Amino acid sequence: MTSNTDTPSSSRRFSLSVTDLTQAAVFAALIAALGLPGTITIGSSGVPITLQTLGVMLAGCILGPRKGTLAVIIFAVLAIAGLPILAGGRSGLVALASPTAGFFVGFLPAVIVIGALTALMMPKYRILPGIGINILGGMVVIYACGIIGLLLRTDLSLWAAISTNGTYIPGDIAKAVIAALVASQVHRAYPGLITPMRLGRAA
């Protein structure tokens, strides 16, 4: 009896419609497009300034955990398959072989964190909490992954690896604010893009 009632709920929770897939594909393309302006590299760490983290934030705070994660997976798979869609015209394999591989790897946990926390805030999107969520996922999570990558691939000390992110903080905060402002307008115009989640309760 229990399995009969749980199966439809689980199916609804994890199933994706054609609309869901289309939205994920659109945001995967957006993340790729945000890499077209290229990169600016400051300092000797090789960590680039790129707009693609803005795309990751937008995917999470507009599409939520399922569709946002799918968007980043689509983007990452295409990049690893060899398409030069990472900022600077790099492919995923080139990025994974570089000292900055952790920042690319960090896209996936970042969108999961942003999407899940945004879903907990819904059905009403609020800008200030949204900015905080974007900073947590789009900066703290990605920076942490990037630092680990630098430690594994370079001779930098822990403090040196951490300090490489200092130059990028103002720009990334601006991205977090922009993403929250955009998400607020999108959710106001198109409510229901993200299914609300509650702690301790199935979505």
Grade residue 47 by pLDDT with cuts at 50, 70 and 90.
low
Cβ atoms of residues 152 and 96 within 8 Å: no
Phi–psi pair at 194, nearest 5 degrees: -120, 130
Contact 147, 102 (CB under 8 A): yes
pLDDT of 102-143, one tens digit each? 999 999 999 999 999 999 999 999 999 999 999 999 999 999
Domains of the chain and any CATH numbers: 17-189 (1.10.1760.20)
- Lookup: tokens for 197: 């989640």
Measure CA 100 to chain center. Answer: 16
pLDDT at 200 (0 to 100): 58
